[in-house]
Amino acid sequence: MSISMENVKALRQKTGAGVMDCKKALQETGGDIDKAVEYLREKGIAAASKKAGRTAAEGIVGSYIHMGGKIGVLIEVNCETDFVAKTDKFKELVHNLAMQVAASQPEYVSREHVPAEEVEKEKKILRQQALAENKPEHVVEKMVEGRLEKFFEDRCLMEQPYIKDNDQTVKDLIMESIAQLGENILVNRFARFAVGEEE
């Protein structure tokens, strides 16, 4: 099947993918641009997970000030090259992540950053709550697991629903950005300040 350059160009503009990738996607989907976008997203996400293990030592520190200076966030987001760090897409991602921290008040980047003793303490509390509801032992374990997931979702940036699209998590947003920008992206750290809040 012959694919027109107009379609390849249109697909490139929609996805930012390379010419050969666009051509292949259109061939695989019979020239259907919408299906080709889906095809590239699926392939991109697969490629993104491979990139997620690579070293990310470049990046930027972004900031966000909200509500007339009442809340402020500093966030360090890393990528692999200075070139990507300077792109508008990367800067926009960093800005959106800073807004997420301001709005959702996470305490940790990911569940791997939560100290083990805090997780154990939370499990004990959740277990006591479940036992107080007079549930059988096997149900108590399931309740603790489910509520622990909610605990991670509340406290960990990567687990939170993304404020601009609740159908995806912050981790999904970052994986999508890895696919689009072609480099590993990591949130290294953040700090949130609110006027009148104690340390």
What is the token pair recorded at 181? 């920008």
pLDDT of residue 17: 66
pLDDT of residue 152: 93
Is the same domain home to 143 and 174?
no
CATH number of the domain where residue 136 is located: 1.10.286.20
User: What's the total number of domains in the chain?
Assistant: 3
Structural domain boundaries enclosing 11: 5-51
Which residue ranges in the chain fall short of pLDDT 70?
A: 1, 13, 15-19, 44-55, 198-199
pLDDT of residue 161: 94
Residue 35 lies in a domain: yes
Residue 12 lies in a domain: yes
Residue 135 lies in a domain: yes
- Judge residue 190's burial from the number of C-beta atoms within 10 Å of its C-beta, 0-12 exposed, 13-18 middle, 19 or more buried: buried
- Reported as a single tens digit per residue, the pLDDT across 63-111 is 999 878 899 999 999 998 889 999 999 999 999 999 999 999 999 999 9
Is the same domain home to 182 and 103?
yes
